[in-house]
Amino acid sequence: MLWFSKLWFSRLSLSILLVAAAGVAQADSRPVVLVMGDSLSAAYGIEQERGWVSLLQTRLDGKAQVVNASISGETSSGGASRLPELLGQHEPDIVLLELGGNDGLRGLPPRQFEANMAGMIEASHEAGADVLLLGIDIPPNYGQAYRDAFTSVYTRLADEFDLTLVPFLLEGIALDDSLMQSDGIHPTASAQPIILDNVWPELATLLADSGVSLAKAE
């Protein structure tokens, strides 16, 4: 009966391996969401787990993988240089582009900003990823004309590439001092759920298109 025991053990081992492999395949089949942002998405000045991207991961409850590649101080040029490697490494289904704040504060010409962002959008599309564009506003340091020219880039990009756009990431936050840190630029921990709520409706649609089943009310 020794041969029977060995055969039974071999079949049991094979079954365990197949179950494990199926589990890995199922986990790997989840859509990947890559967040490419600056300090607004990198939880600047607050605990990392309280940032809106971490809250997004919690809300998704394992239905999608979230990769936060955001870096405080990031610019559109820096993002454009990092993105190709990130696309190859993570193979995202959705890319969230949240950049521009640092470019605007430094007075980058809007045309250069637009070119950098367009390059990232094209690279994402070539990699098979949908893009969700997260717009920001900037202080009128360089005059209203510059501010208008800069912020209008998001709308033009959305129109040109037929993208989903969140017009202003900090809607309902930026003018509320109680939701902003002392620098007047970065939102507090209390503001992070609002940021997520600003992003969620548009992102949820893209996730649903990727096969993620989401509750109607979050």
Given the residues 41, 103, 137, 186, select the one marked as catalytic. Answer: 186
| Residues 73 and 106 sit within 8 Å (Cβ to Cβ) | no
Q: How many residues does the chain have?
A: 218
Side-chain-side CA neighbours of residue 124 (13 Å): 28
Chain centroid, CA 48 distance in Å = 15
Active-site residue, selected from the candidate residues 39, 70, 76, 124: 39
Active site residue 183: yes
Q: Report the distance separating Cα 105 and Cα 101, nearest Å.
A: 6
Please indicate whether residue 39 is annotated as part of the active site. Answer: yes
Of 5, 61, 182, 183, which one is the catalytic site residue? 183
Does the active-site annotation cover 125?
A: no
Tell me whether residue 51 is exposed, middle or buried, using C-beta atoms within 10 angstroms of its C-beta: 0 to 12, 13 to 18, 19 or more.
Answer: buried
Q: What positions carry a catalytic annotation?
A: 39, 183, 186
